[in-house]
């Protein structure tokens, strides 16, 4: 059994099932929740942290909340106008850059605590988020490996949610991937392959699918920037671009971002407090 892993933990169904799977593989799971300006109800994940500890044991998990406000501003707004002209992404990149910031800070956490594994609840059903596209995930894995850390996604192959209440369903239906999911909605065994169903079978959720529900909103932090991202992507960007164009450009953009911050992490390791990244880490 591997000793320890870090887990980017939102408290939602995907990251909570990831925690369950990690608990069976690792001696200790470090649940990390991040806070910044624009995120609200940061204590919500404590609901499922308690459930996890009750089921797997108090010593199996640690839970830490870390501020990333300064780092997020650096990741999001460095060379903003130049990037806007070059990539034409505008608000399209907001959610992905937030997650990239969390990955950068997780790498620092792992290096400080001698942890060589990190994971999250990335899921193929959330394909409109740049950070959960397979190409961007592969680049993220390379970033972790640069520092001797193995990043993995235990629930990526699980089915997406049956009810996408948090998205504009009317516009999502134009996307090829979503159409495929709709065609297989009632396929035999489909429901049993969702993260919600797995958690329900483990006794950690009151129903088979809580995504988009009131309970879901009570379990994890809320982000109103997500609303802007959703409106911009589905009501504007995808009216004039295909999903494949969106996916391709997102990969180029995030590959460049990852390369920039991989260098800054390496500089931090070499120079410590003299590195440019040091002043952005809110310890």
pLDDT in tens, 31-43: 999 999 989 999 9
Domain ranges in the chain are 2-278
pLDDT of 205 above 80? yes
> Residue 142: CA atoms inside 13 Å, Cβ hemisphere, count?
15
The residue among 89, 144, 155, 148 whose CA lies nearest residue 120 is: 155
Whether residue 26 contacts residue 4, with contact meaning beta carbons closer than 8 Å, is answered with: yes
Answer whether residue 178 shows pLDDT above 70. no
Q: How far apart are CA 184 and CA 187, in angstroms?
A: 5
Distance CA 219, CA 44 (A): 5
DSSP states of 136-153 as a string?
HHHHHHHHHHTTT-EEE-
CATH of 2-278, one of 3.30.70, 3.10.100, 3.40.50, 3.30.1300: 3.40.50
- Beta strand 39-40 with 222-223 is antiparallel
Query: How does pLDDT run across 230-246, given as a tens digit for each residue?
Result: 888 888 888 888 999 99
Look at 88 and 105; give whichever has higher pLDDT.
105
| 92 — pLDDT class (breaks 50, 70, 90) | low
Q: Comparing C-alpha atoms, which of 113, 96, 122, 110 is closest to residue 147?
A: 110
Residue percentage of the chain with pLDDT more than 70: 87
d(CA 49, CA 176): 36
Residues 6+ apart with CB under 8 A from 42: 33, 35, 65, 221
Strands 150-152 and 117-119 turn out to be parallel
Per-residue pLDDT reduced to its tens digit, 124-160: 888 888 999 999 999 999 999 999 999 999 999 987 6
Q: Assess contact for 238 and 174: CB atoms under 8 A.
A: yes
Task: Measure Cα distances from 219 to 44, 80, 215, 279 in Å.
Answer: 5, 33, 6, 31
Beta bridge partners of 35: 67
């Amino acid at each position: 059994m591997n000793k320890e892993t870090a887990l980017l933990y939102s408290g939602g169904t995907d990251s909570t099932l990831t925690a369950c799977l990690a608990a069976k593989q690792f001696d200790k799971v470090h649940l990390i929740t991040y806070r910044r300006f624009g995120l609200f109800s940061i204590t919500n994940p404590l609901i499922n942290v308690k459930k996890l500890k009750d089921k797997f044991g108090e010593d199996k998990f640690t839970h830490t909340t870390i501020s990333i406000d300064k780092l997020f501003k650096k990741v999001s707004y460095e060379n903003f106008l130049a990037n806007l002209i070059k990539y034409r992404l505008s608000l399209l990149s907001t959610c992905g850059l937030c997650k990239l910031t969390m990955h950068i800070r997780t790498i620092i956490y792992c290096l400080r605590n001698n942890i060589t594994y990190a994971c999250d609840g990335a899921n193929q059903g959330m394909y409109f988020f740049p950070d959960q596209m397979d190409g961007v995930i592969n680049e993220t894995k390379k970033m972790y490996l640069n520092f001797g850390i193995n990043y993995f996604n235990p629930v990526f192959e699980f089915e997406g949610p049956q009810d996408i209440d948090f998205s504009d369903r009317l516009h999502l239906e134009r996307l090829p991937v979503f159409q495929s999911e709709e065609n297989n909605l009632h396929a035999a065994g489909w429901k049993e392959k969702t993260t919600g169903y797995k958690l329900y079978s483990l006794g950690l959720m009151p129903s088979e699918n809580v995504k988009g529900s009131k309970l879901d909103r009570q379990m994890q932090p809320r982000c109103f920037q997500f609303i802007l991202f959703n409106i911009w992507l589905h009501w504007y960007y995808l009216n004039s671009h295909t999903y494949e164009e969106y996916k391709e450009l997102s990969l180029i953009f995030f590959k460049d971002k990852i390369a920039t911050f991989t260098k800054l992490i390496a500089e931090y390791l070499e120079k410590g407090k003299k590195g440019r990244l040091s002043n952005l880490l809110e310890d």
